[in-house]
Amino acid sequence: MGKIVAGALGFFILEPLGLGPLGALIGLYIGHQFDRGLGGFINPISAEEQQRIGACYFQTTFSLLGYLAKSDGRVSKAEIAQAEALMANMGLASEHRLEAIELFKAGAQSDFSLERTMQRFVGLCGRHNNLKQSLLNYLISLALADGELHSAEYQALQKIAAYLGFSKRLFDKFLEMIMAQSQFRASGSASDRASSAGQLNAAYKALGVSASNSDAEVKKAYRKLLSENHPDKLIGQGMPDDMIKLATERTQEIRKAYELIVASRK
C-alpha cells in the first residue's frame, strides 16, 4: 500500500515538470522502505502461520534449554531450578508449563537431534531475523543465570548460533552485549549508577558501542536494539504471548544502559 500511494504522489508532484515517471519511481522506492519499516507492526503473516510459528518457537526454546543443560554431560539441580525460574517468570499457564517441562526433558535426552530441531525452526521462522536473535538471546541468558558460562555451554550455544546463520564473531558480540545487559536488571536510577566506571563500561557494551562513539551513534544503536526487541514487532512475527515478558524485560535493561550513558555525558 505504501508503494502505491507514494508512487502516485511522486508522479503527480513531478508531472508538471515533465518528470512524472521519475517521480513515480522515487515514490515507489520511498514507499517500499516505508512498507519495510512497518513490517513488524502490521502483521505480514496469516493468523494460522503465526500460530504455527509461535508453537515452533515455544517448542524449540524449551527443548534447546534441555539440550544446553545436558551439554556438560549431566543436568544439575541448579540448571533445573533455573529453567523452572524462567517458566515462573514467564507466567506460563499450567498446561504450557507442563509442556515446557516435557520439552526440556526431551532436549536433555541422548537421542535429541539438534540438527532436526534447528532445521525445523529455521524452515518455519528463519525469515524473521528478530525471532532468530531473540531465541539465541534467551538461551544465552539462561546459560548465564548461574553467573558463569561453562565451556560446554559456550560450544553448544555457538553451534546453535551457526544453525541460525550467525557467525562466531557476531555470536561473541551478542554474548558480550547480553552479559552487559544483565547487569541492568536491578532497579535504580541512572544517577545512582553513574558513579561506577565499571557500570558505565557495561552500559556501552550493552548497546554494542564504545565511549568513542558520538551521541548520534549511541542513540542510533539504542533505537536499533529497541526496535529489534520491541514486543509488538515480535508478536507480529509470531512470538508466543507467554514469552513477551522476557522481551519487555530486555528492552528495560537496554533503556537503563542508555540512560546511564546519557547521564554520564551531560
pLDDT band at 247 (very low <50, low <70, confident <90, very high): confident
pLDDT, mean over the chain: 80
At residue 165, the pLDDT reads 94
Q: Does residue 261 or residue 37 have the better pLDDT? A: 261
Mean predicted confidence (pLDDT) in 71-83: 78
Residue type, 119: Q
Grid cell 514467564 in the structure block, residue: 90
Euclidean distance between CA atoms 252 and 239, whole angstroms: 18
At residue 11, the pLDDT reads 46
3-state secondary structure of 97: helix
Mean predicted confidence (pLDDT) in 90-95: 76
At residue 164, the pLDDT reads 95
134 pLDDT above the threshold of 80:
yes
Task: Provide, rounded to the nearest whole percent, the portion of the chain with pLDDT above 70.
Answer: 79
SS3 string of 198-263?
HHHHHHHHHHCCCCCCCHHHHHHHHHHHHHHCCHHHHHHHCCCHHHHHHHHHHHHHHHHHHHHHHH
135 pLDDT above the threshold of 70:
yes
The model's pLDDT over 163-199, given as tens digits with 9 standing for 90+, comes to 999 999 999 999 999 989 888 875 454 445 444 778 8
The x, y and z cell numbers of residue 50, run together, are 503465526
Q: Does residue 1 or residue 91 have the better pLDDT? A: 91
At residue 86, the pLDDT reads 76
Euclidean distance between CA atoms 240 and 236, whole angstroms: 10
Cβ neighbours for 57, distance < 8 A, ≥ 6 positions apart: 121, 125, 131, 135, 238, 239, 240, 243
Residue 112's φ and ψ, nearest 5 degrees, are -65, 130
Judge whether 122 and 64 are in contact, CB under 8 Å: no
At residue 202, the pLDDT reads 92
Euclidean distance between CA atoms 144 and 134, whole angstroms: 15
